[in-house]
Amino acid sequence: MTTNKSVLAWIDEMKELVQPDKLVWIDGSEEQLEALRAEACSTGEMHKLNQEKLPGCYLHRTAVNDVARVEDRTMICSKKEEDAGPTNHWMDPEKAYKMLYDIARGSYKGRTMYVIPYSMGPVGSPLAKIGVELTDSIYVVLNMAIMTRVGQKVWDTLGDSTDWVKGLHCKCDIDAEKRYIMHFPEDNTIISVNSGYGGNVLLGKKCFALRIASYLGKNEGWMAEHMLILGIENPKGEKKYVAAAFPSACGKTNLAMLIPPEGYKKKGYKVWTVGDDIAWMRKGPDGRLWAINPENGFFGVAPGTNMKSNPNALISTQKGTIFTNVVQNLDDNTVWWEGLDKNPPEHALNWKGEPWNGKTSEEKGAHPNSRFTAPAKNCPCISDEFDSTSGVPISAIIFGGRRAQTTPLVYQSRDWANGVFVGSIMASETTAAAAGAVGVVRRDPMAMLPFCGYHMGDYFKHWFEMGDVLGDKAPKIFNVNWFRLDDEGHFIWPGFGDNFRVLEWIIKRCEGEVDAQETAIGYVPYAEDINLEGLDFSLETLKSILYVDNEQWKKEAEGITEFYKKFGDKLPAQLAAQLDSLKARLDK
């Protein structure tokens, strides 16, 4: 419990609004969580799975109309519309509060209000922040207890401070027409109504950790980024850390939990996962950029996760995990999803809870966006520094996208300013998985387009400011593209664990151990400097995916010019200058 006046006053105000029958303070204890699991199972909100095969694991099904983030109903409510920028949906805060309060009013009648105190990042870390989420969903409580650090220690750390983020979640009627996920960055407030799906209701996730935190970071001089954090350990036991940003469907989780190729493993190389999704970074006492993962668990997409694509992620789900919208195998009360293995169950319930036979059904059993919420501690390669209050020092920042041509396997930016340019032009070509035409280039700067809590032009400016603050201790910036295609449409680079070979080159560049060749876009490896030992892959093929085609990049520059127009006079002059310099180098 807490005596924090700002917290208590807000809870009283919200109680009056939503009118719960009772109030429960979440203390994070196993006893309390176990009681809530039992209650959720008794009402059918959750289903207990086979405790011998999947100890501590449960299944949840969302409403059929509530299965993913709703970007068109996710808004930034800043006083001035221009502060939200052209890439966010905006609503006037006064109008938004009135609308939300009208929807939420009395919605907890007959329900319980759960008060969740949570820390984003290790409790007490100077890089961490505190939030309080009010919810009427046990599913939310149990997920937040996995995804964040919950309990009395959070209240103790907060003390009397007013520096915390308010989060109100109301299931209401799960009415898609009245579903809103609203952010008030100037008020440190998030309100979510009419959803029960994780991405919309676990308010510590994208809502706080990126949209609110990016705004806080701009004002307080740090960075909240949509980045994995991983450590690379060499045979001498030395560890270097990188942070990397990728748009969706570009292998981010796979890279975060990468297993080095056999030859590297035998020599003693290791990879350590610090985070799979979000990085909070600030200048440390030594002048370098230090990062924490503000989360405590993984909220991963289930379909396609298997022992080949990502063994560490799959192993992470084998205890203490909540599965959402996957198949329930009735033969042994376990779970299944497309891409797990080639043996779909015949006696099963699909993600909607309907009878399903995987051998004969035309329909998929698991929803394409079905999820697992797993404790990070379950991951076999979780870093020793995972709970470190000081975080880890970042040597390199890596941007990536999915490009069939144009972008080489890897290149290094010329300097920090050029690296900001490289991040700002990040793009992926649409695949069959995305709605609409295939092969269309979609820009997603720093993979933050849906998650930046303020004007993206100001966000770019903040990156330049951070470069000034860090000076010569700033991480080196790189771009990777695992997705080059041959003429038949097959991937050329093997990817997965072999991406370690590229990471090795990146670290060597940070340490000044290898040279690189200058091109119009930046520094590209000499093919001989990427280790192909144990890989059936020719030097000539490697050279082909390291080649920079200036004619293709001239077309790319036209696309960048068009994209930049979106930001009007808020586009930092440094980015316009970077684009002009690129065009000049391409014309040489």
- Please tell me which residue in 57, 77, 250, 381 is annotated as part of the active site: 250
In a domain, 373, yes or no: yes
Q: Are residues 251 and 388 in the same domain?
A: yes
pLDDT of residue 437: 61
Query: What phi-psi label fits residue 221: left (phi over 0), alpha (psi between -120 and 50 degrees) or beta?
Result: left
Q: Are residues 494 and 461 in the same domain?
A: yes
Predicted model pTM: 0.97
In a domain, 556, yes or no: no
Pairing of strands 223-225, 112-120: unpaired
Q: Are residues 366 and 465 in the same domain?
A: no
In tens, the pLDDT along 486-507 reads 999 899 999 999 999 999 999 9
Q: Are residues 446 and 351 in the same domain?
A: no
Q: What CA–CA distance (Å, rounded) separates 525 from 520?
A: 14
pLDDT at residue 583 is higher than 90 = yes
In order, the DSSP letters of 434-450 are: SSS-TT-EEE-GGG-TT
Q: Are residues 252 and 282 in the same domain?
A: yes
In a domain, 539, yes or no: yes
pLDDT of residue 434: 42
Average pLDDT over residues 317-338: 98
CA distances in angstroms from 542 to 142, 260, 494, 526, 534, listed in the order given: 47, 19, 11, 10, 14
Give yes or no: 452 in active site.
no
3-state secondary structure of 395: strand
Q: Are residues 161 and 182 in the same domain?
A: yes
Which residue pairs from 29-33 have beta carbons closer than 8 angstroms and sit at least 24 positions apart in sequence? 29/151, 33/141, 33/142, 33/145
Give the model's confidence band at 250: pLDDT under 50 very low, under 70 low, under 90 confident, else very high: confident
In tens, the pLDDT along 120-136 reads 999 999 999 999 999 99
Q: Specify binding-site residues for Mn(2+).
A: 206, 226, 277
3-state secondary structure of 375: strand
Contact predicate 139/45, CB 8 Å = yes
Both tokens of 354, joined, read 């309907």
In tens, the pLDDT along 139-165 reads 999 999 999 999 999 999 999 999 999
Contact predicate 208/120, CB 8 Å = yes
Give the model's confidence band at 79: pLDDT under 50 very low, under 70 low, under 90 confident, else very high: very high
In a domain, 119, yes or no: yes
Q: Are residues 140 and 238 in the same domain?
A: no
In tens, the pLDDT along 533-574 reads 999 999 999 999 999 999 999 999 999 999 999 999 999 999
Q: Are residues 313 and 421 in the same domain?
A: no
In a domain, 537, yes or no: yes
Q: What CA–CA distance (Å, rounded) separates 571 from 420?
A: 12
**Residue 334, domain CATH:** 2.170.8.10
In a domain, 572, yes or no: no
Give the model's confidence band at 249: pLDDT under 50 very low, under 70 low, under 90 confident, else very high: confident
The share of the chain scoring above pLDDT 90, in percent, equals 96
Q: Specify binding-site residues.
A: 69, 197-199, 206, 226, 248-254, 277, 369-371, 402, 496-499
pLDDT at residue 343 is higher than 90 = yes
pLDDT at residue 110 is higher than 50 = yes
Q: Specify binding-site residues for GTP.
A: 249-254, 371, 402, 496-499
Q: Are residues 374 and 393 in the same domain?
A: no
Print the domain residue range for 192.
5-45+70-221
**Residue 281, domain CATH:** 3.90.228.20
Q: Which of 361, 378, 395 is the last residue of a domain?
A: 378
In a domain, 582, yes or no: no
User: 416-424 and 573-587 helices cross at what angle (nearest 10)?
Assistant: 90
Phi, psi of 500, rounded to the nearest 5 degrees: -60, -35
In tens, the pLDDT along 419-463 reads 999 999 999 987 654 445 667 899 999 999 999 999 999 999 999
Q: Which of 378, 397, 414 is the last residue of a domain?
A: 378
3-state secondary structure of 470: helix
Residue 6, burial from CB neighbour count under 10 angstroms (0-12, 13-18, 19+) = middle
Q: What CA–CA distance (Å, rounded) separates 17 from 344?
A: 47
Contact predicate 364/72, CB 8 Å = no
Q: Which of 194, 221, 248 is the last residue of a domain?
A: 221
Contact predicate 23/8, CB 8 Å = no
Q: How many domains does the chain have?
A: 3
Q: Are residues 18 and 165 in the same domain?
A: yes
Q: What CA–CA distance (Å, rounded) separates 349 from 335?
A: 10
Q: Are residues 198 and 232 in the same domain?
A: no
pLDDT of residue 429: 87
Contact predicate 4/92, CB 8 Å = no
Average pLDDT over residues 182-191: 98
Q: Are residues 358 and 388 in the same domain?
A: no
pLDDT at residue 214 is higher than 80 = yes
DSSP state of 209: I
Q: Specify binding-site residues for substrate.
A: 69, 197-199, 248, 369-371
In a domain, 60, yes or no: no
**Residue 189, domain CATH:** 3.40.449.10
The number of helices, as runs of H, and strands, as runs of E, in the chain is 17, 31
Q: Give the list of residues 6+ apart from residue 265 with CB closer than 8 angstroms, or none.
A: 259
| pLDDT averaged over every residue in the chain | 97
Contact predicate 152/141, CB 8 Å = no
Containing 271, the helix (H) or strand (E) segment is: strand 270-275
